[in-house]
């Protein structure tokens, strides 16, 4: 059995978009928990096969539009502070008709938000509950968001996976003031060298250990892996961490243009709103 050191690698999923049996593209996705229900979250342009701004097919050679998605995940079990991976895996496939849209969209923004979610229990009732979700991972810490904070885009650039299942971690930094919307959207800018196939990746503020600024001083050693915290005279809160600390901040949906390393990350509130439509 192989060992995985980070649960982030187990909440991220490589997803394939197909027309019938023809593979059109690959992308990234992740599991998300909403009120105890599991969702597979990705970008809208992945499943529509169309540019989010122009509506033109992304498959410029054939003009193919997806009518199904396919993904598979390994079976994992916790072993101490790591996770052992068996040889078994779960393969899931969902096909839809041309006028059907089996995914959930934002209740107000609709198709203009490049975020969709699939209800796991509804579409794949035999799948079971994923081991990890991006928004409920161990070692969550309310890291203070600010420009230049280190971030990780965890997905599948060019469809590349490690040992068939596991994502590639690409590092960058937060590139905009978090209190303001980027590009007029409920989103953030990041500075990160990403590539085709990364769309739909979960994005994390990530600190491998050491000193980091936090949003409050109510952290505990058992829940957050912190062994010292203090409040500076300027009112900011700081913690010293003996283990990796991470905060899920949203979903990556591509670069602002082909020549820039600036990418767009839709905020977690957008994902939450998309998943909330399952209640309607």
- Would you say residue 213 lies in a domain? no
**Pairing outcome for strands 82-95 and 116-119:** unpaired
154: helix, strand or coil: strand
Q: Which two tokens stand for residue 219?
A: 């952290």
On whether residue 215 sits in a domain, the answer given is no
Query: What's the angle, vertex CA 91, arms to CA 107 and CA 264, rounded to 5?
Result: 40
* Cα 242 from Cα 194, distance rounded (Å): 29
Number of domains comprising the chain: 1
Q: What is the pTM of this model?
A: 0.92
Range of the domain at 146: 2-208+244-279
Residue 238 has pLDDT above 80, yes or no: yes
User: Which of 48-62, 64-78, 149-163 shows the lowest mean pLDDT across its residues?
Assistant: 64-78
Span 189-232, pLDDT tens digits: 999 999 999 999 999 999 887 888 888 877 777 666 677 888 88
Q: Which residues contact 18 (CB under 8 A, 6 or more apart)?
A: 24, 66, 67, 68, 69, 70
- pLDDT band of 126, cuts 50, 70, 90: confident
Query: Tokens 């500075």 sit at which residue?
Result: 191
Kindly report the CATH number assigned to the domain that includes residue 79. Answer: 2.40.10.10
Q: Is residue 229 part of a domain?
A: no
Which tens digit of pLDDT belongs to each residue from 257-271?
A: 888 899 999 999 999
Q: Please check whether residue 227 lies inside any domain of the structure.
A: no
- Write the pLDDT tens digit of every residue in 74-116: 776 666 666 666 655 677 889 898 778 899 999 999 999 999 9
């Amino acid at each position: 059995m192989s060992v995985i050191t980070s649960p982030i690698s187990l909440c991220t999923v490589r997803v394939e978009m197909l027309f019938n049996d023809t593979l059109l593209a690959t992308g990234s996705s992740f599991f998300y928990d909403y009120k105890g229900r599991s969702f597979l979250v990705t970008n809208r342009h992945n499943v529509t096969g169309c540019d989010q701004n122009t509506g033109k097919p992304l498959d410029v050679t054939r003009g193919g539009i997806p009518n199904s998605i396919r993904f598979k995940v390994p079976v994992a079990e916790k072993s101490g502070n790591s996770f052992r991976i068996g040889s078994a895996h779960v393969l899931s496939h969902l096909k839809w008709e041309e006028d059907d849209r089996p995914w959930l969209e934002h209740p107000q923004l609709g198709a203009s938000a490049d975020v969709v979610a699939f209800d796991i229990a509804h579409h794949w009732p035999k799948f079971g509950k994923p081991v990890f979700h991006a928004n409920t991972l161990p070692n969550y810490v309310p890291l203070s968001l600010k420009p230049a904070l280190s971030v990780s885009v965890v997905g599948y650039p060019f469809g590349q996976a490690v040992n068939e299942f596991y994502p590639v971690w690409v590092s960058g930094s937060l590139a905009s003031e978090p209190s303001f919307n980027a590009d007029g959207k409920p989103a953030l800018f990041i500075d990160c060298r990403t590539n085709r196939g990364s769309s739909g990746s979960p994005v994390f503020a990530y600190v491998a250990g050491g000193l980091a600024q936090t949003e409050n001083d109510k952290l505990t050693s058992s829940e957050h892996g912190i062994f010292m915290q203090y409040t500076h005279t300027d009112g900011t809160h700081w913690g010293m961490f003996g283990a990796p600390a991470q905060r899920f901040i949203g979903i990556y949906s591509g670069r602002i243009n082909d020549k820039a390393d600036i990418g767009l990350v839709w905020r977690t509130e957008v994902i939450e709103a998309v998943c909330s439509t399952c209640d309607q």
